[in-house]
Amino acid sequence: MVTRSEENYLKAIYHLGKQGTVAVSTNAIAEKIESKASSVTDMIKKLAEKNLANYIKYQGVTLTESGRLAAALVIRKHRLWEVFLVEKLNFTWDEVHDVAEQLEHIKSPKLVNELDALLGFPTHDPHGDPIPDKDGHYTPLKSVNILEVEPGNEGVLARVIDSSDVFLKYLNKNNLALGDTIKVLDFEPFDHSLTIETATKKMIISNAVAKNLFISQEL
Amino acid sequence: MVTRSEENYLKAIYHLGKQGTVAVSTNAIAEKIESKASSVTDMIKKLAEKNLANYIKYQGVTLTESGRLAAALVIRKHRLWEVFLVEKLNFTWDEVHDVAEQLEHIKSPKLVNELDALLGFPTHDPHGDPIPDKDGHYTPLKSVNILEVEPGNEGVLARVIDSSDVFLKYLNKNNLALGDTIKVLDFEPFDHSLTIETATKKMIISNAVAKNLFISQEL
DNA sequence: AATCATTTTTAGTCTCATCTAAAAATATTT
DNA sequence: AAATATTTTTAGATGAGACTAAAAATGATT
Ligand SMILES: [Mn+2]
Ligand SMILES: [Mn+2]
Ligand SMILES: [Mn+2]
Ligand SMILES: [Mn+2]
């Protein structure tokens, strides 16, 4: 059995190390999971013991094949629940994360698959993140960071990386939502900020914000 | 904060002691929760410490007002999730209990209330158990144990007490479901069994089974 | 290459929720 | 009312998961 805590560590390693294929440092995990390095070392040993992670002292962790699958299935649940909360229970995209963080640990294969069906087999969650299938696979949607877009070009907001409620509330406040068409007007070399235009207005977004916005451009 | 384990104890006390108003013994709780008496004593002290239970050594436990409310809200969640699983996710009534046992501990007031709305504010779960409202109140549906019914009379199966999957599978096997009309034909004094008649057939049910069936009789 | 800084691991402690075994209190029989 | 049986509590131990402080390893800088 994989415990709740173990699942959270698997997810962190998966996210930090390109699906767990690249070695992740103890400190990086500690920060992500808001714990201490010593706690992480303990847990990593346990994961290695259970053949979910590959661990060499002082050289970070990667996930084994089964660790990677386990992580992907937790992420699958997390994202399906997020869709459920938004589509069926009137949650906004900035309200779903904490509840999904709990729901992702519910154990019932039937529940996950039926939920998937109820929602019409969605491919992406409310933040544009792809939903892995039963085998842990997904095809990331073709989107590009808004900072890579040449001024003058436009695209549809397809994904936001930061799912924290502070960031999403900022987007709400500025009327930016998934699916909105955004045109890049100007890049400012001094502070790396960006002037963009939406259906409703023109605005300047900081580099910190821009880093989190991904748009898809139809060819 | 009330932990998952505390919630399970609150529920047990609530169920065993007429909503926690009547003193429940340490052993009774231990059996219900499948733990040991010594563990129960420990937990009861903790609940008393948190003002969720009234505890006098050697004299059992009752729930305080806030303990009763906390218990009722967990039960509310449990039963709403059961309805959700059956109504929306194609679970059968014998499959829901274990999953609901996990889901009942998810913390999010909005989630519960939206779920309630999605389901159309149901008053009973798939086993005929009443669903408490936000204040922990409910009106138990007027039903009578089938053993109290005079032979010759009939009623509609409205509630089953045992929600274990073995019992529910027994009912499935014999084509007995909530809402079915059941006529009591004969009571056997020797083993206290009962002969009943449904739309499809006549059958004998043991006293152990009969104890768990409640029917409502319209006047 | 030697020193200093950072990261990671180890050692030891804590809380929560459990358990077993023994002691104490209560309940039931004779 | 004693003796016996049962229930409940206490005492002490364990494992999971977290922490702090100190030691060890690695990495960076002179
Ligand atoms: Mn989580
Ligand atoms: Mn998301
Ligand atoms: Mn439970
Ligand atoms: Mn039920």
- List pLDDT tens digits, range A173-186: 999 999 899 999 99
Whether residue A126 sits in one domain with residue A91 = yes
Whether residue A97 sits in one domain with residue A53 = no
Determine if strand C comes within 7 Å of the CB of B41: no
Does B117 fall in a domain? yes
Determine if strand D comes within 7 Å of the CB of B72: no
CA distance A192 to A205: 9
Does B21 fall in a domain? yes
Spell out the residues 6+ positions from residue A11 whose beta carbon is closer than 8 angstroms to its own.
Answer: A71, A74, A75, A78
- Domain span at residue B100 reads 74-134
Please report the pLDDT score of residue A219 as a whole number.
Answer: 58
Whether residue B153 sits in one domain with residue B107 = no
Does B69 fall in a domain? no
The Å distance, Cα A101 to ligand 1 centre, comes to 4
Flag whether residue A96 sits within 8 Å of chain B, measured between CB atoms.
no
In tens digits, chain B (219 residues) has pLDDT values of: 999 999 999 999 999 989 989 999 999 999 999 999 999 999 999 999 999 999 999 999 999 999 999 999 999 999 999 999 999 999 999 999 999 999 999 999 999 999 999 999 999 999 999 999 999 999 888 899 999 999 999 999 999 999 888 999 999 999 999 989 999 999 999 999 999 999 888 999 999 999 999 999 875
Whether residue B108 sits in one domain with residue B80 = yes
User: Which residue among B14, B31, B63 closes a domain?
Assistant: B63
CA distance B69 to B86: 26
Ion ligand 4, residue ranges at CB < 5 A: B 82, 125, 127, 129, 163
* CA atoms in the 13 A half-sphere facing the CB of A135: 3
Best B102, B104, B105, B113 residue to mutate vs chain A (most A CBs within 10 Å): B102
Does A208 fall in a domain? yes
Whether residue A154 sits in one domain with residue A91 = no
Q: Which residue is closest to A98 within chain B, CA to CA?
A: B108
**Residue type at B54 in one-letter notation:** N
Does A122 fall in a domain? yes
CATH of residue A127? 1.10.10.10
Domain count, chain A: 3
Strand partners for A160: A213
Beta carbons within 10 angstroms of residue A99's beta carbon: 20
Helix (H) or strand (E) holding B7: helix B4-16
Whether residue B151 sits in one domain with residue B108 = no
Whether residue B147 sits in one domain with residue B125 = no
Give the tens place of pLDDT for each residue, B134-144: 999 998 888 99
Inter-axis angle of helices B37-49 and B26-33, to 10 degrees? Answer: 110
Does B68 fall in a domain? no
A217 and A144 Cβ atoms separated by less than 8 Å: yes
- Return the ligand number nearest the Cα of B7: 3
A72 and A130 Cβ atoms separated by less than 8 Å: no
The Å distance, Cα B79 to ligand 2 centre, comes to 28
Interface of B with A in 100-159 (CB under 8 A): 102-103, 106-108, 110-111, 114-115, 118
**Closest alpha carbon to B33 in B51, B50, B54, B16:** B16
Measured in angstroms, what separates residue B61's CA from nucleotide C29's C1'?
28
The residue to which tokens 């009942």 are assigned: B104
Does A68 fall in a domain? no
Beta carbons within 10 angstroms of residue B151's beta carbon: 12
User: Which residue among B102, B134, B166 closes a domain?
Assistant: B134
DSSP B147: G
CATH of residue A200? 2.30.30.90
User: Which residue among A86, A106, A134 closes a domain?
Assistant: A134
Does A69 fall in a domain? no
